[in-house]
Amino acid sequence: MIRRSMVLWVILASLFGAAMFLIKHEVQVREAWLDTLHREILASQEAIQVLRAEWSYLNQPVRIEALIRRHMDLRPTNTAQIGGIDALPVRLRNADARAEVAQ
């Protein structure tokens, strides 16, 4: 009786021991992986920070204005160029009327 229960307990203990070892090992592996990920995240965040600074630097209005002057035909908007829909004349429904106006 004692011997049988002893055997049972020994088997259980070694099973739990083995399970514990495996789980602990797995946790260690995952923790190492997590550390790597953290380091990578920090490195990426640092890189992003540098890029954000560079983005702001490249967005200096002085620089953009100079670039536009050099490469494009854009000019500051004239007040007369801005208008609303309600400022437009009424659209003529009739095709004949449109043709008449066109003439």
Partner 1 sequence: MSPRVPPQGDSIDAIPTVRIEGNAKQAIEVGRNRLLVAGMFFAVAFTLVAVRLVDIAAFRGGGEPSVVRESSATVLKTGRADIVDRNGLLLATSLSVPSLYADPKEVIDVEAAAQRLITVLDHLSAAKVAAKLKATKRFVWIQRGLTPRQQYRINALGIPGLHFQREERRVYPQGSLTSHIVGYAGTDSVGLGGLEKQFDGMLRDGAQPLKLSLDVRIQHILREEIGRQMVKFDGIGGAGVVLDANTGEVIAMVSLPDFDPNLTGAAAEDARFNRATLGVYEMGSTFKIFNTALALDSGSATMNSGYDATNPIRIARFTINDYHAKRRWLSVPEIFMYSSNIGSVKMALDFGLAAQRGFMGKLGFLAPLSVELPERGTPITPSPWRRINTMTIAFGHGIAVSPLHLASGVASMVNGGIRWPVTVLKRDSSARTVGKQVISKRTSKQMRQLLRLVVENGTGRKAAAEGYLVGGKTGTAEKPGESGAYARKALLSSFVAAFPMHDPRYVVLVMIDEPKGNKESHGYATGGWVAAPAVRRIVSRSAPLLGLLPMDEQSPEIRQVLEIELLAEKGRKRLASF
Binding site for partner 1 (CB under 8 A): 34-35, 38, 41-42, 45-46, 49-50, 52-57, 59-62, 65, 76-77, 79, 82, 84
Phi, psi of 75 (to 5 degrees): -130, 160
Token pair belonging to 17: 């021991």
Please report, in angstroms and rounded to a whole number, the separation of the first and last CA atoms in the chain: 117
Shortest distance, position 56 Cβ to partner 1, whole Å: 4
Q: For residues 19 and 29, what is the distance between their CA atoms, to the nearest angstrom?
A: 15
Shortest distance, position 42 Cβ to partner 1, whole Å: 6
CB nearer partner 1, residue 21 or residue 55: 55
CB nearer partner 1, residue 56 or residue 94: 56
Shortest distance, position 57 Cβ to partner 1, whole Å: 4
Are 72 and 78 spatial neighbours (Cβ–Cβ below 8 Å)? no
CB nearer partner 1, residue 77 or residue 103: 77
Shortest distance, position 71 Cβ to partner 1, whole Å: 19
